[in-house]
A = this chain, B = another copy of it.
Amino acid sequence: MSKELDFGETLRARRMAQAKDNPAFSLRKVAERVGIEPSYLSKIERGEQPPPGEENIRRLAEELGENPDMLLALAGKVAGDLLAIIRERPTVVAELLRTIRRMPDKRVSEISRQIRDGDW
């Protein structure tokens, strides 16, 4: 079984992978590009501090080539635009989400595709 990576571990793993053949991926350099203190990033990577706010998570995702929604989820958060979609029409959207809750990923993706394609 592959080990479950938490937010900090994922960041470190991704950054280390890049750092291996690119010196621009030192903790300090990444922190600077993202716009946070190196010590803060250090603590986050080691899980000593909780994950940062959405904006900084997005910048980290961009920087490290990770999917922002994925990274936000690892941080225990949900993207602001998705929250807005739910808040605009809470009952219908809630119904939809609770309906697809137990479906396999594949099925959910298929539904999205078919809706977009109008195969419906």
Contact = CB atoms under 8 A, between A and B. Distances in A.
Contacts of A36: none
Contacts of A98: 81-82, 85
A105 interface: yes
A86 interface: yes
Nearest to A77: B87
A11 interface: no
Q: Give the interface residue-count category, chain A.
A: 35 or more
Contacts of A90: 67, 69-70, 72-73, 78
Given A97-B82, A99-B112, A92 B105 contact: yes
A115 B105 contact: no
